[in-house]
Amino acid sequence: MHEFFLSTSILLCFLVLLCLYRGTVGPGVLNRIAGISAIGTKTLVILLLMGFIYDRVEMFVDISMVYALLNFIGTLAVAKYLEIEGEV
Amino acid sequence: MWPEYTEQSDNFGGKNKMIRVTDDVIIKTIARVLTPFIQVYALYVIMHGHHSPGGGFQGGVILAASLILLLITHGWAETKKKFSETKTAVFCAVGVLIYTGIGVLCIFMGGNFLDYGKLGGLLMVIPPEARSLGILGVEIGVGITVMAVMFSIFFDTSTGGNSPEDETTSSLR
Amino acid sequence: MEVTLLVQATDDAFRTLENARQQAIGLLDTAVGLTAETRSVQKKNIQAIFRGAQETRSKLQNFIGTFFLMFVFWVLLSGRFDTFHLTLGIICCLFISLLSYDLLFANIRIGDYGLVVRRFLSYAPWLIYQIILSNFHVAALALKPNLPVDPHVMKFKTKLETDISWVTLANSITLTPGTITMDIKDGEFYVHALDKKVADDLDTGEMEDRIAHIFMEADHIYVQDALDVARIYGAIR
């Protein structure tokens, strides 16, 4: 079962690279925000899979919850900042 | 529950838009429902610092994040009822006071600074349990300070240093 | 002989018709009364919601509700049942309830919460099924080489009234692949749809009806009206 989790994590890391491409070269600020929040979501799943690999799920669930939370609030704050700066 | 939206009460005369009420129903409702859960989670992270990852700093950051979420969605007029600037200053100091107080108490009990084992006589428990309780107290202090300082940093950078409490009182009355 | 029979039959027929007419008038009167009553109650509810007033729920009720919900959440998170941790949980939940008792239960309707929860739980599998269906549809769209998409923004007025049902509808639309809620302004939804088919699926209004059913918002009036009309129709026949 560990091999399955490991290969899934590696696949997700590859998807993170794709999102990182959108986050770095993507035209406009909104594409970058979307790319970065997609990276956040994938990191969350990777953290949970790491928890399964190391058999410490109850620890990694806490970490991933914090990650999701701060990702959400960060995206919201950046969106609000862009709204008031008139970039959108 | 939301106060009437006026330019003066939320906007500080157009100077600050980062901490005014948003007019998006979805974000407002989600923030309103999510905030108590985030706060309970933050306190869980603080209180269970010795069993699971986390501790004072992380819990304080999450608690501050919940208040920041409230601030950028419901505006300063609503957040002020829960966490005003005066409370921010007081909590900054109280957290450090708890931390240092526990440390100095250990010195008075005949140990080193933050030597929790010596608190056992005072709390009437065995030294390992006293160590656990002492760490919990210190983490609560750290959490309170971090929460207040994080909130204060966000608030000051978003208002640009103008204290809105002075401005609202001067512009409204 | 035959004439008397005919006259009698006509008399009977007239009497039955008259009875039916009286019954129908009575039923219509009650129906009008019922509808007016529901309308006025509804109007009062809407006014209360839009004023943001919390007339029927006091602060104490909100406080107690928040406390119990938070304590359940704490126990779920903590998973330790010794006295020390439960006491810590009670203290923390009291603190949180003091801090934000007015957030969780603001703008909520008076009603049977257990029923709402049960209906929501039965709504979730349907939503997941819809998500899977349109997932396949969007995947097929994206994998076709000529990319037959037709993106457009559609606007519709909703019949839902509270903010929580608006948010449920908006998030359900966003969760379904192919459609994204862009904005809600004054009860009007602005939805970006990827394709004609997903837009048509949304236009049937089934999702909205189901959400109105969950939160008991607009449907009970309509159901009441339909029942009244059916009874009148049956009596007249």
pLDDT in tens, C106-137: 766 655 677 778 888 988 999 999 999 999 99
Question: Same structural domain for residues C143 and C177?
Answer: yes
Domain assignment of residue C1, yes or no: no
Please compute the mean of the pLDDT values over residues B31-41 and round it to a whole number: 92
Spell out which residues of chain C touch residue B5, defining contact as CB-CB under 8 Å: none
> What is the tally of structural domains in chain B?
1
Domain assignment of residue C11, yes or no: no
Domain that holds residue C90: 59-104
CB contact under 8 A, A58 and B52: yes
Q: How confident is the model at residue C45 (pLDDT cuts 50, 70, 90)?
A: low
Question: Same structural domain for residues C197 and C128?
Answer: yes
Domain assignment of residue B171, yes or no: no
Q: What is the DSSP letter of B160?
A: T
Instruction: Indicate left, alpha or beta for C58 from its phi (over 0: left) and psi (-120 to 50: alpha).
Output: beta
What's chain C's average pLDDT? 80
Tell me the residue length of chain A: 88
Question: Same structural domain for residues C97 and C123?
Answer: no
Question: Same structural domain for residues C120 and C191?
Answer: yes
Contacting residues for B13 by C-beta, under 8 A, at least 6 apart: B7, B167, B171
- Rounded CA separation C86/B31 (Å): 27
Domain assignment of residue C195, yes or no: yes
Token pair for residue B163? 């204290």
- Rounded CA separation C202/B138 (Å): 55
User: How large a percentage of chain C has pLDDT more than 90?
Assistant: 18
Question: Same structural domain for residues C63 and C136?
Answer: no
Order across the sheet with C152-157: list the strands: C152-157, C188-193, C179-185
Position B11 pLDDT exceeds 70? no
Question: Same structural domain for residues C72 and C164?
Answer: no
Q: How far is B161 from chain C (nearest CA, A)?
A: 26
Q: Within a 10 A sphere around the Cβ of C181, how many other Cβ atoms?
A: 19
Domain assignment of residue B8, yes or no: no
Query: What is the chain C residue with the closest CA to B27?
Result: C167
Contacting residues for B82 by C-beta, under 8 A, at least 6 apart: B67, B70, C99, C100
Query: What is the chain C residue with the closest CA to B83?
Result: C99
B31 touches B73 (CB < 8 A): yes
Query: Does residue C188 sit in helix, strand or coil?
Result: strand
Spell out which residues of chain B touch residue A73, defining contact as CB-CB under 8 Å: 65, 68-69
Q: Within a 10 A sphere around the Cβ of A2, how many other Cβ atoms?
A: 10
Q: How confident is the model at residue C57 (pLDDT cuts 50, 70, 90)?
A: low
> What is the tally of structural domains in chain C?
2
Question: Same structural domain for residues C87 and C161?
Answer: no
> What pLDDT is stored for residue A53 in this prediction?
92
Query: Does residue A3 sit in helix, strand or coil?
Result: helix
Q: Where are the beta strands (DSSP E) in chain C?
A: 152-157, 179-185, 188-193
Spell out which residues of chain B touch residue C52, defining contact as CB-CB under 8 Å: 1-2
Domain assignment of residue B144, yes or no: yes
ipTM above 0.95, yes or no: no
User: Which uninterrupted H or E stretch holds B48?
Assistant: none
Domain assignment of residue B6, yes or no: no
CB contact under 8 A, A73 and B69: yes
Question: Same structural domain for residues C121 and C172?
Answer: yes
pLDDT in tens, B122-152: 777 888 888 888 888 899 999 999 999 999 9
Best residue in B23, B44, B52 for a mutation probing chain C (most C CBs within 10 Å): B44
> What pLDDT is stored for residue C228 in this prediction?
56
Q: Which of the other chains make 3 or more beta carbon contacts under 8 angstroms with chain C?
A: B
Domain that holds residue B92: 14-163
Domain assignment of residue C45, yes or no: no
Question: Same structural domain for residues C125 and C206?
Answer: yes
Domain assignment of residue B32, yes or no: yes
Contacting residues for B71 by C-beta, under 8 A, at least 6 apart: B19, B79, B151, B154, B155
Burial of A28 (0-12, 13-18, 19+ CB in 10 A): exposed
